[in-house]
Amino acid sequence: MHWQTIEPNTPFTQTSLHETLHGGQAFRWTPLPAEQAHLGIWSTHVVKIRLQNQSLQAQSLTTQTTPEDIRQYLASSTHWAKLADDLPWRSDSHLANCIDNFRGLRLLKQPFAETVLAFLCSATKQIPQIKVMCENMAREIGAPISDRIHSLPTWEQLSECTETQLRKLSLGFRAKNIKKTADILAADPSLLPQIEAATYPEAKAALCELPGIGEKIADCALLFGTAKYEAFPVDTWIIKTLERRYKATGWSNPQLAHFGRIHFGSHAGYAQQFLFSHERASPKDQ
């Protein structure tokens, strides 16, 4: 059990690492202030991460976890600085400011099935509540993987629960959607892998067929779970940003999504994450 270097000369700053792990892409990370580190859980992995002297280091608490598993989750081989430079910040001073404030921010590549589940929980919920729902599902349904730590349940495991059981996990009205989606996904285990392999428009259309998944949740699942960076989730935060800073007052959500794709380009979802982080951190700042 020791610290291993995951990325020497990492582009992360403490701020952008923190925002990447705790800013609403993933819901199973805990800050460890005493160690200046972060503890996270995905799939069957339990990992501590810290930034020290421009080096990103990790410690696996599960024996089967390799540095390559961690690099894949963190999308370490993606050239994030180049992706950010390709965004239209030269003609968009607000975007330039957001990129500056969160230099090194990136999009995680989480297990797709877990991302779909977490964002099915996200409807009209804030991050702390989504975390509680994920922990409840893991504790009560998921498989144990480490000392008092459980994986998120698989869709197969969820399909074996009743809606009533799920409601006890403070999922609220989301329980019905999760149950119905679980029945569909358990009956066809190839569906999510097929969606992940499809193009963005095909994948989004297929996801929106599932109960409780509309455009916003589909875009989040594709952006954070399949690395399809053209996905541009239109949520309450980005609506506020586009209204106030891009003068898009009174626009419909599809109009806002269209604007995002046109203005920010093929990696609009990456731009969205910078705007989202900035808006969340300083909603009133001009």
Partner DNA sequence: AGGCAGGTGGCCA
Partner DNA sequence: TGGCCACCTGCC
Question: 127, 149, 186, 281: which one contacts DNA (CB under 7 A)?
Answer: 127
173 binding DNA? (CB under 7 A): yes
284 binding DNA? (CB under 7 A): no
CA-based nearest residue to 136, from 121, 125, 124, 146: 121
Interface region with DNA, contact rule CB under 7 A, candidates 48-56, 59-67, 103-111, 236-244: 236-244
Handedness of CA 162, 164, 165, 166 (dihedral sign): positive
Residue 144, SS3? strand
Q: How far is the CB of 169 from DNA (least distance, A)?
A: 9
- Cα–Cα dist 231/270, whole Å: 9
Segment 263 to 282, residues that bind DNA, using CB under 7 A: 272, 276
Which ranges of 110-251 would DSSP assign to H, the alpha helix? Answer: 112-120, 127-141, 155-159, 163-167, 174-187, 191-197, 200-207, 215-225, 236-246
Q: What is the dihedral of CA 143, 118, 22, 90, to 10 degrees?
A: 140
225 binding DNA? (CB under 7 A): no
Question: 172, 200, 258, 281: which one contacts DNA (CB under 7 A)?
Answer: 172
242 binding DNA? (CB under 7 A): no
For the record, the structure tokens of 167 come out as 């409601």
DSSP letters of 44-108?
TEEEEEEEETTEEEEEESSTT--HHHHHHHTTTTS-HHHHHHHSSGGG-HHHHHHHHHTTT----
184 binding DNA? (CB under 7 A): no
For the record, the structure tokens of 102 come out as 């969160």
- Cα–Cα dist 270/227, whole Å: 10
Q: How far is the CB of 107 from DNA (least distance, A)?
A: 11
191 binding DNA? (CB under 7 A): no
Interface region with DNA, contact rule CB under 7 A, candidates 8-16, 51-59, 118-126, 146-154: 118-126
189 binding DNA? (CB under 7 A): no
Question: 94, 103, 150, 167: which one contacts DNA (CB under 7 A)?
Answer: 167
Q: How far is the CB of 121 from DNA (least distance, A)?
A: 10
129 binding DNA? (CB under 7 A): yes
Q: How far is the CB of 86 from DNA (least distance, A)?
A: 20
Beta-sheet pairing, 55-60 with 45-52: antiparallel
**Sheet-wide strand order for 29-32:** 4-7, 55-60, 45-52, 37-42, 29-32
Interface region with DNA, contact rule CB under 7 A, candidates 2-10, 63-71, 146-154, 166-174: 166-174
- Cα–Cα dist 158/117, whole Å: 10
Question: 125, 139, 150, 261: which one contacts DNA (CB under 7 A)?
Answer: 125
Q: Which is nearer to DNA, 125 or 150 (CB)?
A: 125
41 binding DNA? (CB under 7 A): no
Q: Which is nearer to DNA, 25 or 159 (CB)?
A: 25
50 binding DNA? (CB under 7 A): no
213 binding DNA? (CB under 7 A): yes
Which residues contact DNA by CB under 7 A? Answer: 23-25, 122-129, 132, 167, 170-174, 176, 208, 210-218, 220, 233, 235-238, 252, 272, 276
